[in-house]
């Protein structure tokens, strides 16, 4: 089986109170946000299209956003939160 060519974009980046995740995958996906120490800050199920994520609970800093589908890692992206 060939992996699907799913696209992922995060904007705005840097973010302040919210950021958007845009994906074209038709399967349900799991969004996880980790701090630079590798601690999970939050996770949320996302669907195809654009999902708006509340970032108010995140302190200023750099985070790793991981999107997985069916337990498989699809993409990792860096997110900067500015206050």
Which residue in this structure is represented by tokens 């974009």? 9
21 touches 76 (CB < 8 A):
no
DSSP 17-49: SEEEEEE--SS-EEEEEEETTS-EEEEEEE-SE
Determine the pLDDT at residue 2: 40
Measure the CA–CA gap between 80 and 48, rounded to whole angstroms.
23
Which has more pLDDT, 21 or 27? Answer: 21
Residue 10 bridge partners (DSSP): 21
Per-residue pLDDT of 25-38, as tens digits, reads 888 899 999 999 99
pTM of the model as a whole: 0.87
| β-strand pairing of 49-54 with 40-46 | unpaired
């Amino acid at each position: 089986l060939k992996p699907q060519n799913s696209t992922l974009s995060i904007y705005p980046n840097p973010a302040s109170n919210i950021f958007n995740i845009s994906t074209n995958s038709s399967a349900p996906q799991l969004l996880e946000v980790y701090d630079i120490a590798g601690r999970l800050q939050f996770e949320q199920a996302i669907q195809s299209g654009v999902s708006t994520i509340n970032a108010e609970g995140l302190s200023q800093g750099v985070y790793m956003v991981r999107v997985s589908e069916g337990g498989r890692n699809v993409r990792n992206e860096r997110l900067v939160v500015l206050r």
